[in-house]
Structure 1
Amino acid sequence: MNENNMKNFRNPDAILDVYEKPEFAQGVLLSLQHMFAMFGSTVLVPILIGISPSIALLSSGVGTLVHMLCTRFKIPAYLGSSFAFVATMQALMKTDGYPAVAQGAIAAGLVYVVVSIIISQIGSAWVNKVLPPIVVGPIIIVIGLSLATTAANDAMLKNEKYDLTYFGIAIFTLVMTLIFQMCFKGFTSLVSIMLGIICGYLLSCALGIVDFSGVQKAAWFSLPALDVPGISYHFKWYPAAILAMAPISFVTMTEHMGHIMVLNSLTKRDFFKDPGLHRTMLGDGLSTIIAGFIGGPPTTSYGENIGVLAMTKVHSVYVLAGAAVCAIIFSFVGKLAAVIESIPMSVIGGISFLLFGTIASNGLKILVDNKIDFGEKRNMLIASVILVIGIGGAYLQLGNFQLTSVALSTIIGMILNWILPKQSASEKALEEKNKEKKEGKIYQ
């Protein structure tokens, strides 16, 4: 599909395609649904490393809009706080504080920018060669299912202990979402995820497990806690932080490409070609640089929001842009941010069962659509290794540098696709034997 055809193309499976605008009232609700989906993870990262959640909301909203500008508003992606850097950021916060984290985040973003420049020169044709459907499908399954444990823990655990009430709320949230999705039509079905979250939240309130103390303390208007180099603190070089965080960018790049592959499948487009992988990388890098300059954690594209896109079939970039604007507004409205922050993780876990599973199902869809033959030994071996390493949580640790299970399985999958022959020795022998039979050289 050339660029002109891409502009005129409409995905017949989409309720709202990439360039289509919803009505204003519907758009607001659809955008809020996306914000609810990403909120838990986006604010959890700053909580884990000890910075303000409001600044993470601001940086995610601004970063998403910057990403959209870089990609010419062609990709419906949302950028939130990245978990890949958490362990390193926690260590840096203990030794040097946020200034070191900021410098590491900016360095990580610059790596993206440099890589985007290189890709703009050499092109992205290599992507389809190193990431064929037999590699892409299992990787997308891994992206979804590697988050399954997180969803289950959120749904079941209260203070790291199993809680039946929490699990009941998660299942109730999931069931209500499925009811809204399957038993209703029109706009109610489109906002089924948000309605499910609201139902789960109301049940949590009725059962008395929602902590409203944060809402009571929060001001209606509060400026996010900005940490700007040279203003909030004196500038100082932190080479150890740069060396610790910059290499992690190569890990998140593989996850970034995985998410683009999922979006390609959902929207029936090739974003590697239009607007181009170099633009998606540039957008991700600039978003992380901005986050480092204003006091937030590094950002990355979010699987939660891709799950919402898959569930609702609403792929409009305007909806994702609206979610970014909502996040920016909520970062200044203390009460509203505190209400969302008070949503129990069991509610988020119940929704995540559906969202993460939907991502994995799209990986299966790629394998089916491309008619991948698992009777071929090569295909079976590549898929098997990717799935077990990725879903099993295997990772490579070298000092402070960690190659996550998603990144490791992606790299190993690409290597296997490169080195394994198209046929095994036994398959070749069988083919030769069948050929000889057909030619009449072997008589039975």
Structure 2
Amino acid sequence: MNKKEQFHNPDAILDVYEKPPLGQGVLLSLQHMFAMFGSTVLVPILIGISPSIALLSSGVGTLVHMLCTHFKIPAYLGSSFAFVATMQALMKTDGYPAVAQGAIAAGLVYVIVSIVIAKIGSGWVNKVLPPIVVGPIIIVIGLSLATTAANDAMLNNQKYDLTYFGVAIFTLVMTLIFQMCFKGFTSLISIMLGIVCGYVLSCILGIVDFSGVAKAAWFSIPALDVPGISYHFKWYPAAILTMAPIAFVTMTEHMGHIMVLNSLTKRDFFKNPGLHRTMLGDGLSTIIAGFIGGPPTTSYGENIGVLAMTKVHSVWVLAGAAFFAILFSFIGKVAAVIESIPMPVIGGISFLLFGTIASNGLKIIVDNKIDFGEKRNMLIASVILVIGIGGAYLQLGSFQLTSVALSTIMGMLLNWILPKEAASEKALEEKKEQEGQKYFN
């Protein structure tokens, strides 16, 4: 991590390998932890396990991913939503031991795929994922989360709440003010400052629930569920067969996030450190989560949004966020305070973070000068955007192909199947050539 690269991204305030001063680094790391906290603890709450163990597994998993990728990729791994429905069903029938085996199986799928990619290389990635496919997919990754952000901002127990929406807009406006009207370090921590302002307003309005803070202990060991120690080992083949295939869905999303990071950092992480290493890191992270009692992990769009907003791409900062996640998983009071941040505050910040990801997809299209006058480009982008943003998914029994994964697959297939030039465009060109020859004759 100390070894500097020759390349430096001129757009970055802190590039991937650069280390911030200690004081600034702490605040920047906390900002990343705040960004991922809501989603990371929501998954265990939905499936009925301890949020603290999800914090621990996300922090450990992120550091493991960094080790596998030689500390070259500024990515944060949090709890994966792709497995939630399956995990909820397994928790009702067989409990966490079945979920654990399913998670470990999904991680092993990643490891196997990473070995295959290491053998055959990743040169195929640029062929199946050209800019006309990548740009719209990144837009989908951002905008497919738009409904989540809006619901967090507006809904209180599934009902519209004007107070909630006011808090969300206030949080957003304060973040924008810190980002645009201040300079220096204040601008860099605008997201964290916006969250703090939103939290203070929420306290004044009385929508913060402090009951969890009062009950939480200052020091508490996360509720680890370790096979052979916390429970007797038993095979759950149904859990393995149900959760393992979902890994192929999250792989597609994983590649989408790497594409966004490639664009932000002006690097090609598919080549260096290599797609096989990013897959390996993601897989090992999920395996570790299964062994200690947490949910499967995946790279987080929220943290990518922070990278895009702040232009601070330092792996040191992301490693710091992982360290704080591990630390706070043992400090019950601090974790409870962060957990008490109301959803409208998270929603207000998400308006900006998810939109920033989508805007980066637009930037890829503009930078590569994609011509939408060409029918082929228009058709590929149209299908990806509507399927992905519309939330269309493929359901086969308990297996679900998410809208992001489905739109990505459709985009790759269309790029492979559609001819370089539509028949109508070819006929028009031929007609123009004939008319031109007549003119010269």
Equivalent position SS for 2:5: helix
Q: Which amino acid aligns with 1:326?
A: F
Seen in structure 2, the aligned counterparts of structure 1 residues 442 and 243 have a Cα distance that, compared at 3 Å, is farther
1:311 match: 309
Equivalent position SS for 1:439: helix
Matched-pair contact (CA < 8 Å) for 1:38–1:304: yes
Equivalent position SS for 1:58: helix
Equivalent position SS for 1:80: strand
Q: How does 1:45-444 map to 2 (within 5 A)?
A: 45-440=43-438
| Structure 2: distance between partners of 1:442 and 1:288 | 68
| Structure 1: distance between partners of 2:336 and 2:314 | 28
Matched-pair contact (CA < 8 Å) for 1:436–1:442: no
| Structure 1: distance between partners of 2:427 and 2:314 | 52
Q: TM-score, normalised by structure 1?
A: 0.98
| Structure 1: distance between partners of 2:98 and 2:435 | 70
| Structure 2: distance between partners of 1:357 and 1:188 | 21
Between stretches 7-16 and 281-290, larger displacement belongs to 7-16
| Structure 1: distance between partners of 2:56 and 2:47 | 17
Q: Which amino acid aligns with 1:196?
A: G
Q: Which amino acid aligns with 1:171?
A: I
| Structure 2: distance between partners of 1:110 and 1:439 | 63
Deviation at 1:441, TM superposition (A): 6.7
Deviation at 1:437, TM superposition (A): 2.5
Deviation at 1:439, TM superposition (A): 2.9
What per-residue deviation string (whole Å, max 9, x for no partner) do you get for residues 324-359 of structure 1?
000000000000000000000000000000000000
Consecutive unaligned residues of structure 1, counting only runs of 5 or more, are 1-5
Matched-pair contact (CA < 8 Å) for 1:71–1:280: yes
| Structure 2: distance between partners of 1:35 and 1:401 | 31
Q: Which amino acid aligns with 1:131?
A: L
What per-residue deviation string (whole Å, max 9, x for no partner) do you get for residues 312-334 of structure 1?
00000000000000000000000
Consecutive unaligned residues of structure 2, counting only runs of 5 or more, are none
| Structure 1: distance between partners of 2:328 and 2:438 | 76
| Structure 2: distance between partners of 1:59 and 1:353 | 27
| Structure 1: distance between partners of 2:428 and 2:203 | 65
Q: Which amino acid aligns with 2:425?
A: E
Q: Which amino acid aligns with 2:80?
A: S
Deviation at 1:434, TM superposition (A): 1.5
Q: Which amino acid aligns with 1:134?
A: I
| Structure 1: distance between partners of 2:404 and 2:128 | 16
Equivalent position SS for 1:72: coil
| Structure 1: distance between partners of 2:296 and 2:60 | 12
Equivalent position SS for 1:275: helix
Q: TM-score, normalised by structure 2?
A: 0.99
Q: Which amino acid aligns with 2:99?
A: V
Deviation at 1:435, TM superposition (A): 1.8
Deviation at 1:49, TM superposition (A): 0.1
| Structure 2: distance between partners of 1:442 and 1:43 | 72
| Structure 2: distance between partners of 1:212 and 1:119 | 48
What per-residue deviation string (whole Å, max 9, x for no partner) do you get for residues 243-271 of structure 1?
00000000000000000000000000000
Q: Which amino acid aligns with 1:218?
A: A
| Structure 2: distance between partners of 1:114 and 1:273 | 19
What per-residue deviation string (whole Å, max 9, x for no partner) do you get for residues 190-244 of structure 1?
0000000000000000111101110011000000000000000000000000000
Matched-pair contact (CA < 8 Å) for 1:156–1:166: yes
| Structure 2: distance between partners of 1:281 and 1:437 | 54
| Structure 2: distance between partners of 1:48 and 1:279 | 31
| Structure 2: distance between partners of 1:74 and 1:435 | 51
Q: Which amino acid aligns with 1:336?
A: V
**Matched residues, number:** 438
| Structure 1: distance between partners of 2:150 and 2:410 | 27
What per-residue deviation string (whole Å, max 9, x for no partner) do you get for residues 278-307 of structure 1?
000000000000000000000000000000
| Structure 1: distance between partners of 2:437 and 2:97 | 74
Deviation at 1:42, TM superposition (A): 0.1
Deviation at 1:442, TM superposition (A): 8.3
| Structure 2: distance between partners of 1:442 and 1:391 | 50
2:20 match: 22
Equivalent position SS for 1:440: helix
Matched-pair contact (CA < 8 Å) for 1:103–1:238: yes
Deviation at 1:433, TM superposition (A): 1.3
Q: Which amino acid aligns with 1:394?
A: A
- Residue identity (%): 89
| Structure 1: distance between partners of 2:167 and 2:356 | 21
| Structure 1: distance between partners of 2:51 and 2:172 | 26
1:3 match: none
Equivalent position SS for 2:419: coil
Deviation at 1:130, TM superposition (A): 0.1
| Structure 2: distance between partners of 1:297 and 1:435 | 61
| Structure 1: distance between partners of 2:196 and 2:429 | 59
Deviation at 1:424, TM superposition (A): 0.6
Matched-pair contact (CA < 8 Å) for 1:105–1:292: yes
